[in-house]
Amino acid sequence: MWQDISLQDVLIVSTLMFFSGVYGFLTRRNLITMLMSVELMLNAVNINFVAFNYFLHPENMQGMFFALFVVVIAAAEASVAIAIIIGIYRRFKSINIEDVSKMKF
Amino acid sequence: MNAFEYTFLIPFIPLLGFLLIIFNFKRFPKKLTAALATSLIGISFVLSVYTAWQYFIIMGPLHGVYPKIIGNHFEWLKLGEHLSVHMGTLIDQASVMMLIVVSTVSLMVHIYSIGYMHDDRGFNRFFAFLQLFSFSMLSLVIATNVFQIYIFWELVGVSSFLLIGFYYEKPSAVAASKKAFIVTRFADLFFLLGILLISFHTDTFDFISLTNPENFERFNLHGTTFLGLSIPALALILIFVGGAGKSAMFPLHIWLPDAMEGPSPVSALIHAATMVVAGVYLVARMFANYAIMAPEALALVGYVGAFTSLFAAVIATTQIDFKRVLAFSTISQIGYMMAALGVSGYGEEAGLGYMASMFHLFTHAMFKALLFLGAGAVIHAVHTNSIREMGGLRKYMKTTHITFLIATLAIAGFPGLSGFFSKDEIITAAHQSYPLVFYTLLVVAGLTAFYMFRLYFLVFWNTETHYHHKPHDPGKAMLIPLIILAVLSIVSGYIPFGEFVSSDGKPLHTHLHFDIAIISTLVSFVGIAIAWFLYKKSSDLTSHLIARWGTFYRWAYNKFYIDEVYLFITHNIIFAYISRPIAWFDRHVVDGTMNVIGWITVTTSEKIKGMQSGQLQQYAFAFVSAILVISAFLIYYLINN
Amino acid sequence: MSFLMLFVLVPLLTVIAILFSKNIRQTRWIAALGMSLQLILSAVLVVMYLQIRAAGIADDFVMVKNLSWFPSLNFNLTLGVDGISVSLIALTSIVIFAGVFASWQMESLHREFFISLIVLASGVFGFFITIDLFAMFVFYELAVIPMYLLIGIWGTGPKEYSAMKLTLMLMAGSALIIVGLLGIYFHSAPEGGQLTMNLLEISRYKIPENVQNFLFPFLFVGFGILGALFPLHTWSPDGHASAPTAVSMLHAGVLMKLGSYGVFRIALFLLPQAAHNQGALFLILATIGIVYGALGAIMQKDLKYINAYSSVSHCALILFGLLMFNRSAIDGAILQMISHGIMTALFFALIGMIYGRTHTRMIHEMGGLLKVMPLLGAAYIIGGLASLGLPGFSGFVAEMLVFFGAFSHADTFHRIATVLAASSIVITAVYILRVVGIFLMGPIKDEHHRHLTDATWWEKLSVGTLLLFITLIGMFPSFVTETLIGNSLAPALERLMSNF
């Protein structure tokens, strides 16, 4: 049954996931939620890597390895991001992105 | 050929004096300055006389023609492939005559100034400037080429500026010096253009080759310019405008009456005897060119001269400032000389006007210098310039009175004195060809006699004014020049001038023309008689006449409002409608454009910086939209290819 | 190590020495010493140059030395001088020498002031000793940038505004110049050799005419901004008015000449055909500039503005002469660079000295100063007379050469331009005499001015040096016009003439 799933189907899912992430990133005001949206986008890309690898070049493994890389780096990135968010919270007493707009002209 | 190498010393010695005094003007005591300056100009005078003696008497005419000799010269500046400016000394009839005039008057004025300026703080400065002027004027008269004349022309202009503005704390003196400089400078612009034009077509500045009629064929002078004038006519008219500026010809005469703000010796030296005749001298220098190449330009010279002569004489009859009367008299007499040049032809008997003009220049220098020095002595004694506040001075200032009378008689053309002879030649020359000029000059002769005797009677006779200090004759330093000049004013008429100075270098034998002489003498006697009648004693007649001729008198008294016209043009037109708008235009339009460019930049950046809002999600939105747009384009592109 | 290099090294060493100075006395003596050395060096250079020419070497440039800089792009620091640059080097060292003495009494930040001033001077010297376009550009920038600091920090009046305006306008000029230079660079080897910025090598080939036409406006306008080309001159009145004395002197005296030198050396020399094609347009601008600057000066009330407008007029005469494309006019234009350089430096020095005493530059607030300070007043009058072209001073000769050169074009267009340009000698007389009449002559207006002192020894030295050179050049002009720059005009003239 899962053999019936085509590349197209996977791509549709990942695209939906990606744009959910984009939507979340652009609309949510909470930094944590925005971070989560970023993770969603990353994972959508991961799905693409795996799917292309599986469907187009099954004899190679680069896609899989790359997805693994992304997972690992995403973990590191998430920790750094959360550290920054904590820093922001300490300074602004808020994690609302609209309050954090000191870096302008 | 080069027996005249020493002539460069004649101008050079006063230059030395100028430098010595100006670099020590705080250190030198007055006596030293006076002795130094006077002895240096004395040396120049002796050298000039020696030059004249050597040139006219020892050497004499060569094959019946006086040669033109280059004393010495060197190249000063190369102006182009063919043209270069030389500095040097040219010895010929006219220049030697001028050397005598300039050095004589200059020496007299130096001696006179020792007395006149005795109590002045600027004593040393005054003598330094006198030396500078003598240097420039002597260099001008012996210039070998027209460019050298132009150089020293400017330098005499600046010496005149410095000396008119000698009392620089007096606003009127400052204004007068400024006016003199700017008006003559304006004329010099035309002079320069004339030089440019004539040198462009003849490839030479040199008087010897420029004025040699044999060369005229070779000059490339074809073609006409604007107004249909031929090239030489245009060039020579331009040069004449330069001369008219210096010689105060109408309508460029306005600076000369104001120039009387300078000390009296300066008026005598610069504004009566030497510098103001530079224009006449210039035309005389290039006389061959005027007479042969462009007779129309020469006719213009004649008419302008005659008109100026009449115009200034009319004004002179109404003025009440002692020195201004003399100034207008100077303008009138220079007009006489110009008219004489204008009516003259070239060579032989036709050149009578030329010779007469030079003759009158010579005699006029003597008696006009004397008049001014006499005026200086009177003003020194009574401390006023207004002739209304003088009168009856003959009792107090005997020597001054007699010398002044001699000069007045000379200028009025009284038979036997120098002015009589030279005027006679001029009127004769005009009689031959130009009736209009002839009658004008005759009228002017009468007017001259009238206004000079008006002046004389008002100052030395008439009702005696009450003086605070009893006026008295000046000291020896001032009297000696008066006496010497008085003697010269009598005897200089007896020089057989035509033998020495003539248009083409050949001696010209002249004689008195009795028919003309009788007419002109009668005319001047009429003038003298009217003056006697009106002014010897104070009478009501004058005020009646003034009332009768009211409008005309007022116009003449106000110098026909020429000054006002100039003021209007310069202040109300040039300054107000050209210069001020340009200053405004520069600040607001040209500079404004630059500021607008700056303003646009600033405003644009103000607008752009709003995009840097600090809102992370705005950036992200812009980023995502841009990505989408670019992808859409890429996809579209890929599909279509 | 080339002798020419000393002209950049001596100022730099002076700057380093000033860094170690402890007080203003030391600073100014070091500066004075360094700049005196520079003056001596330029005298030596003049003698050396004349000896080289006397030895019969007829190269376009002498003392040529190639120092590699960016070998990959073939940018070199090529040194070399001809008579024109030698005379401009001499001018620069005269002006900076007088400038140091004119700023003898600096009140604040004296060390930094002298450092900036001398860095500026070294940029100017560098510009004149190199014949590589890239090196010239670098030195040009080196000269322009300290100007911002000098005006912005030590200036008077609206100094930030003026400094900003001046720098921005000159930088805009630089932008145009670098476009032009790169354009020349990429056409410097039409037959496929290595591209070069070397003036001599470029001049061996002919740049195609359409390229010339394209590049010429960039270079002419770019350098023209610095040379006060109408209507891009407006930085000059404000900049000069705000700048401190020595900076005005150096700027009007020398820096503006960089512009006209660049026009001559680069725009006219390398792009002669375009110069002919477009000369008429720029000639009109130059003629307007001459009359306009002079008329603009008549109505000014501030001494420095008067002089700045006068500079616009006189510098436009330089461009006017250069655009006549013949020997006497260009000769005159170059003499005018030198003459105006010294004259205007003299004026700004005197204005600075008078301002230092009266604390005003408004002519109507002063009067009769000649009586109070006869030396400074007399110097101003002499300067004024020189400026209005009195014979015996340098300006006269320069003007005459330009007018004679200009008059040799017999067509109506050039005739009218010449007559208009010549009319400026009258207008100049008007504004010079007006200002002299108002503030030096007449009665003393302000009672406080009665007790002012005359020149001190350093002021006398500064003014005396400048007056001496104005007079020397005016008396013996042939030394400059013939001996010094006469031969060096030939290469440029040949290129300009060959297109007729």
Of C385, C397, C410, the CB nearest to B158: C385
Per-residue pLDDT tens over the stretch C428-437: 988 898 888 8
- Contacting B residues, span 118-177, partner chain C, CB-CB under 8 Å: 150-152, 154-155, 158, 161, 165, 168-171, 174-175, 177
Query: Among C418, C476, A86, which residue's Cα sits nearest to residue B193?
Result: C418
Cross-strand partners of B69: B91
Answer whether A97 touches B (CB < 8 Å): yes
Answer whether B82 touches C (CB < 8 Å): no
Higher pLDDT, residue C257 or B575 = C257
The confidence score (pLDDT) of residue B203 equals 81
Q: Specify whether the CB–CB gap between C477 and B78 falls below 8 A.
A: no
Check CB contact under 8 Å for C441 and B181. no
Of C400, C407, C433, the CB nearest to B181: C433
Answer whether C474 touches B (CB < 8 Å): no
- Per DSSP, the three-state class of C305 is helix
* Nearest-neighbour CA in chain B from A28: distance (Å): 9
Answer whether A81 touches B (CB < 8 Å): no
Chain A residues lying within 8 Å of B615, measured CB to CB: 97-98, 101
Per-residue pLDDT tens over the stretch C272-324: 888 888 888 999 999 999 988 888 888 888 888 888 889 989 999 999 999 88
Chains C and A touch (3+ CB pairs under 8 A): no
CA–CA separation, C174 and C222 (whole Å) = 6
**In the predicted structure, residue C32 carries a pLDDT above the cut 90:** no
* Nearest-neighbour CA in chain A from B630: distance (Å): 17
Angle at B222 between CA B218 and CA B226, to 5 degrees: 145
Radius of gyration over every alpha carbon of chain A, rounded to an integer in angstroms? 17
Structure tokens at C202: 């470029």
Buried b (16+ CB within 10 A) or exposed e, C439-464: bbbbebeeeebeebeebeebbebbbb
Phi then psi dihedrals of residue B206, to 5 deg: -65, 130
Chains within contact range of chain C (3+ C-beta pairs < 8 Å) = B
Query: Among B224, B237, B142, B223, which residue's Cα sits nearest to residue B194?
Result: B237
Interface test with C, best of B178, B197, B199 (most C CBs within 10 A): B178
* Nearest-neighbour CA in chain C from B168: distance (Å): 5
Cross-strand partners of B77: B85
Q: Specify whether the CB–CB gap between B523 and B445 falls below 8 A.
A: yes
Query: Among C399, C403, C381, which residue's Cα sits nearest to residue C389?
Result: C399
Contacts of B432 (CB under 8 A, 6+ apart): B343, B352
Parts of chain B with a pLDDT under 50: none
Q: Give C240's Cβ-side CA count (13 Å radius).
A: 33
Interface test with B, best of C400, C411, C423, C489 (most B CBs within 10 A): C400
Give the model's confidence band at C2: pLDDT under 50 very low, under 70 low, under 90 confident, else very high.
confident
Query: Among B553, B365, B388, B525, which residue's Cα sits nearest to residue B457?
Result: B388
* Nearest-neighbour CA in chain C from B322: distance (Å): 24
The confidence score (pLDDT) of residue A84 equals 92
The confidence score (pLDDT) of residue C302 equals 86
DSSP secondary structure letters along C98-140: HHHHHT-S--S-HHHHHHHHHHHHHHHHHHHHB-BHHHHHHHH
**Exposed, middle or buried: residue C37 (CB in 10 Å: 0-12, 13-18, 19+)?**
middle
B251 prior amide bond cis, ω within 30: yes
User: How many of the other CB atoms lie within 10 Å of CB of B537?
Assistant: 11
- Contacting B residues, span 576-635, partner chain C, CB-CB under 8 Å: 578-580, 582-583, 586, 590-591, 593-594, 598
Region C182-197: what's the mean pLDDT? 80
**If you search the block for the tokens 């248009």, which residue do you land on?**
B503
CA–CA separation, B430 and B428 (whole Å) = 5
Of C327, C371, C440, the CB nearest to B80: C327
Cross-strand partners of B88: B73
Which CA distances in Å does B496 have to A93, B444, B576, C91? 119, 25, 56, 58
Check CB contact under 8 Å for B81 and C430. no
Chain B residues lying within 8 Å of C397, measured CB to CB: 77
CA–CA separation, B192 and C391 (whole Å) = 13
* Nearest-neighbour CA in chain B from C391: distance (Å): 6
Chain C residues lying within 8 Å of B578, measured CB to CB: 295
Chains within contact range of chain A (3+ C-beta pairs < 8 Å) = B
CA–CA separation, B562 and A103 (whole Å) = 75
* Nearest-neighbour CA in chain C from B107: distance (Å): 25
The confidence score (pLDDT) of residue C410 equals 80
Answer whether B350 touches C (CB < 8 Å): no
Element (H, E) at B444: helix B435-460
Q: Which chain A residue has the Cα nearest residue B615?
A: A101
* Nearest-neighbour CA in chain B from C345: distance (Å): 23
Of A22, A97, A104, the CB nearest to B624: A22
Looking at domain A2-99, which CATH architecture does it have?
Orthogonal Bundle (1.10)
Structure tokens at B252: 């460029």
For chain A, domain boundaries: 2-99
Contacts of C389 (CB under 8 A, 6+ apart): B154, C395, C396, C399, C425, C428
**In the predicted structure, residue A103 carries a pLDDT above the cut 80:** no
Element (H, E) at C478: helix C477-478
Contacts of C28 (CB under 8 A, 6+ apart): C100, C104, C106, C110, C114
Check CB contact under 8 Å for B613 and A26. no
Q: Give B326's Cβ-side CA count (13 Å radius).
A: 30
CA–CA separation, B422 and B428 (whole Å) = 10
CA–CA separation, B144 and B211 (whole Å) = 11
- Per DSSP, the three-state class of C157 is coil
Mapped to the 3 state alphabet, what secondary structure does B308-377 carry?
Answer: HHHHHHHHHCCCCEHHHHHHHHHHHHHHHHHHHHHHCCCCHHHHHHHHHHHHHHHHHHHHHHHHHHHHHH
Is the four-CA dihedral B508, B509, B512, B513 of positive or negative sign?
negative
Q: Which chain B residue has the Cα nearest residue A18?
A: B624
**Exposed, middle or buried: residue B72 (CB in 10 Å: 0-12, 13-18, 19+)?**
middle
Mapped to the 3 state alphabet, what secondary structure does chain A carry?
Answer: CHHHCCHHHHHHHHHHHHHHHHHHHHHCCEHHHHHHHHHHHHHHHHHHHHHHHHHHCCCCCHHHHHHHHHHHHHHHHHHHHHHHHHHHHHHHCCCEHHHCCCCCC
CA–CA separation, B143 and B150 (whole Å) = 9
**In the predicted structure, residue C170 carries a pLDDT above the cut 50:** yes
Check CB contact under 8 Å for C407 and B83. no
Q: Specify whether the CB–CB gap between C118 and C18 falls below 8 A.
A: yes
User: How many of the other CB atoms lie within 10 Å of CB of B614?
Assistant: 13
Check CB contact under 8 Å for B612 and A104. yes
Q: Which of B29-33, C23-27, C404-408 has the lowest mean pLDDT?
A: C23-27
Of B155, B169, B185, the CB nearest to C371: B169
Interface test with B, best of C427, C445, C471, C483 (most B CBs within 10 A): C427
- Per DSSP, the three-state class of C393 is coil
Contacts of C323 (CB under 8 A, 6+ apart): C275, C279, C282, C283, C286
The confidence score (pLDDT) of residue C500 equals 43
User: How many of the other CB atoms lie within 10 Å of CB of A81?
Assistant: 17
Q: Give C319's Cβ-side CA count (13 Å radius).
A: 37
Radius of gyration over every alpha carbon of chain B, rounded to an integer in angstroms? 31
* Nearest-neighbour CA in chain B from A2: distance (Å): 31
Q: Specify whether the CB–CB gap between B10 and B44 falls below 8 A.
A: yes
- Look up the ipTM and state it: 0.89
Check CB contact under 8 Å for A26 and B616. no
* Nearest-neighbour CA in chain B from A105: distance (Å): 6
Answer whether B200 touches C (CB < 8 Å): yes
Per-residue pLDDT tens over the stretch A66-90: 999 999 999 999 999 999 999 999 9
**If you search the block for the tokens 């007088």, which residue do you land on?**
C98
CA–CA separation, B301 and B307 (whole Å) = 10
pTM: 0.86
Answer whether A88 touches B (CB < 8 Å): no
- Interface B-C, measured as beta-carbon pairs within 8 A, has a size of 128
Which CA distances in Å does C433 have to B572, C240, C382? 19, 21, 11
Check CB contact under 8 Å for B614 and A103. yes
Check CB contact under 8 Å for B575 and C299. yes
Q: Which chain B residue has the Cα nearest residue A26?
A: B617
Chain B residues lying within 8 Å of A101, measured CB to CB: 613-616
**In the predicted structure, residue A100 carries a pLDDT above the cut 50:** yes
Q: What percent of chain C has pLDDT over 70?
A: 99
What DSSP character marks residue B469? S
